[in-house]
């Protein structure tokens, strides 16, 4: 939000001037007119910020998290349900939000609301914070006159989404730590441990086992070319990250994630639960079917699944049924297709989707509780193979050298 200096006349025709904060010159003029002041001239004020202040602002700023969005929807529901005017509610939330970026966004929304725009279009000005699902739910709530009810449903959905994400992160923390520790151990062994054994083995003129030669060769390669390996690793990470940020790269990565052993099936069921929950929410809130599929395609947060959902939308636009278009995508499980079919026959698609979401939520919860047990055997095998190679590569030649010395 910028600061503007204005010259104007009040209702009595007296010249007045001053400063005010607004998102734009138009918003500043609207504020003045709403206060009974006719603007004559409005100029933006250039505020000089020191480089230290700019650096501090850059380091402390962060994008609003899902927890911030949940807090916002919960508090806004409470305020509107209590009868607080919407503009005053946004202004109060902006004062209570601890995230400065989010607080600035809420102030901008309040100013936009003062200019006469509706809440949905005001939030749509900030697509990086408020996604299509939030905007569509708000729009339906405004049109139906039940905005606080829409906010309550939205906050419940977001809380459920956050809980699922937190449980997945918690379950993945252990295998990630183990894999990281294995990687560090491999670097330490090849850069510091193996060179010591290489010096010992070089003193004896004897043929070394192939396992030892393999370890020594790999260790020598890492010692001589570790700067190149480091550069290649960083370049590969940057290249992969940039590719994933492209539409085709995101589509490929999101499809591959669903094929990862053990974890892929968990992600697949979590996505089915997210699809069913968000689709049921939009249908129950009165969002039209085609628009609801558009919203859900963005809400699932997976480009591959979102593309399949858009294929469903295209099929329905051509006059096909919801169940048949879902089956043609070859994405959904037989349970989901059966529930959609029953829902179409009974006119209770939203209730059937709620049942699907509840089932997959339970499945995800069960898999998360047993994820560590499923991954542990794989990690044990990996660690066992590493230890076996090291043991054969290091101790076999030592045993042979010991036998040679005894002779």
54-73 pLDDT, tens per residue?
Answer: 555 555 567 888 889 999 99
pLDDT at 337: 92
Six-digit token string for 214: 């393999």
CB 386 within 8 A of CB 189: no
Q: Which tops the pLDDT comparison, 172 or 355?
A: 355
The answer to the question of residue 227 being in a domain is no
Domain boundary among 159, 191, 212: 159
Q: pLDDT value at position 143? A: 79
Is 363 contained in some domain? yes
Tell whether 267 and 364 lie within a shared domain. Answer: yes
Query: What confidence score (pLDDT) does residue 53 get?
Result: 47
Mean pLDDT of the chain: 83
In terms of domains, do 155 and 69 share one?
yes
Q: Which domain holds residue 8?
A: 2-48
DSSP string, 212-272: HHHHHHHHHHHHHHHHHHHHHHHHHHHHHHHHHTSHHHHHHHHHHHTTSTTHHHHHHHHHH
Q: What token pair was written down for 340?
A: 């959609």
One domain, residues 72 and 120: yes
What's the angle, vertex CA 57, arms to CA 106 and CA 238, rounded to 5?
100
- pLDDT (0 to 100) of residue 298: 80
In whole angstroms, what is the distance from residue 267 CA to residue 364 CA? 8
Q: Which is higher by pLDDT, 136 or 344?
A: 344
Q: Give the least confident one: 155-159, 167-171, 287-291, 300-304.
A: 167-171
Span 109-125, average pLDDT: 87
For 2, the 3-state DSSP assignment is strand
- Average pLDDT, integer, range 189-217: 78
User: What mean pLDDT comes out for the span 301-316?
Assistant: 90
pLDDT above 80 for 82: yes
* Separation CA 266–CA 295 (nearest Å): 23
Q: Is residue 115 a contact partner of residue 26, using CB atoms and an 8 Å limit?
A: yes
Per-residue model confidence (pLDDT) at position 1: 56
When pLDDT is averaged across residues 200-223 and rounded to a whole number, the result is 79
More confident position, 77 or 300: 77
pLDDT at 403: 62
Helix (H) or strand (E) segment spanning residue 43: strand 38-44
Q: Is residue 355 part of a domain?
A: yes
Task: Provide the CB-side half-sphere exposure for 147 (13 A, CA).
Answer: 21
User: For 179-209, b where at least 16 C-beta lie within 10 A, e where not — what string?
Assistant: eeeeeeeeeebbeeebeebbeebeeeeeebe
Q: In the beta sheet, which residues pair with residue 238?
A: none
Give the Å distances, CA to CA, from 322 to 287, 345, 373: 15, 11, 38
Tens-digit pLDDT profile for residues 372-392: 777 778 888 888 887 787 777
- Within-domain flag for 279: yes
Residues 27 and 109 in one domain: no
Let me know whether 358 and 271 are in one domain. Answer: yes
Roughly how many angstroms between the first and final C-alpha of the chain, as a whole number? 86
Task: Identify the domain boundary among 105, 136, 159.
Answer: 159
Question: Would you state the pLDDT for residue 187?
Answer: 81
CATH number of the structural domain spanning residue 309:
1.20.81.30
Determine the pLDDT at residue 208: 76
pTM of the predicted protein model = 0.70
Q: Nearest CA to 86 among 63, 100, 101, 106?
A: 106
Question: What's the rounded mean pLDDT across residues 39-66?
Answer: 66
pLDDT higher than threshold 70 for residue 17: yes
Considering its fold, how many domains does the chain have in total? 3
Q: Which residues contact 98 (CB under 8 A, 6 or more apart)?
A: none
In a domain, 40, yes or no: yes
Q: Is residue 21 part of a domain?
A: yes
Query: Average pLDDT for residues 249-256, to the nearest whole number?
Result: 92
């Amino acid at each position: 939000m910028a600061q503007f200096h204005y010259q104007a006349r009040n209702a009595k025709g007296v010249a007045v001037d001053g400063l005010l904060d607004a998102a734009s010159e138009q918003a500043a003029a609207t504020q003045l007119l709403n206060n009974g002041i006719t603007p004559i001239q409005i100029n933006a004020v250039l505020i000089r910020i020191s480089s230290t202040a700019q650096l501090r602002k850059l380091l402390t700023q962060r994008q609003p998290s899902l927890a911030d969005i949940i807090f916002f929807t919960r508090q806004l529901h409470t305020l509107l349900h209590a009868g607080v005017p919407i503009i005053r509610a946004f202004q109060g939330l902006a004062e209570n939000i601890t995230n400065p970026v989010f607080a600035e966004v809420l102030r901008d929304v309040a100013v936009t609301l003062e200019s006469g725009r509706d809440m949905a279009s005001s939030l749509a000005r900030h697509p990086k914070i408020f996604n299509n699902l939030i905007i569509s739910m708000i729009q339906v709530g405004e049109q139906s006159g039940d905005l606080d009810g829409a906010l309550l449903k939205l906050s419940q959905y977001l809380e459920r989404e956050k809980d699922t994400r937190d449980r997945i992160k918690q379950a993945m923390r252990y295998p990630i730590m183990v894999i990281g520790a294995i990687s560090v151990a491999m670097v330490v062994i090849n850069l510091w441990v193996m060179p010591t054994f290489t010096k010992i083995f070089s003193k004896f003129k004897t043929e070394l086992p192939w396992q030892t030669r393999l370890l020594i060769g790999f260790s020598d390669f890492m010692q001589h070319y570790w700067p190149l390996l480091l550069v290649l690793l960083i370049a590969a990470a940057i290249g992969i990250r940039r590719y994933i940020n492209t539409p085709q790269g995101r589509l490929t990565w999101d499809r591959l994630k669903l094929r990862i052993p053990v974890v892929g099936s968990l992600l697949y069921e979590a996505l089915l639960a997210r699809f069913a929950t968000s689709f049921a929410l939009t249908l129950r809130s009165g969002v039209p079917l085609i628009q609801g599929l558009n919203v859900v395609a963005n809400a699932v947060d997976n480009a591959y699944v979102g593309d399949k959902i858009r294929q469903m939308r295209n099929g329905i636009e051509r006059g096909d049924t919801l169940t048949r278009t879902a089956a043609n995508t070859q994405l959904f499980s037989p349970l989901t297709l059966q529930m959609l079919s029953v829902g179409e026959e009974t006119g209770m698609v939203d209730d059937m989707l709620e049942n699907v979401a509840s089932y997959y939520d339970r499945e995800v919860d069960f898999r998360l509780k047993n994820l560590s047990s499923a991954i542990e055997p794989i990690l044990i095998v990996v660690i066992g193979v590493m230890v076996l190679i090291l043991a054969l590569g290091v101790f076999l030649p030592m045993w042979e050298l010991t036998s040679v010395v005894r002779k």
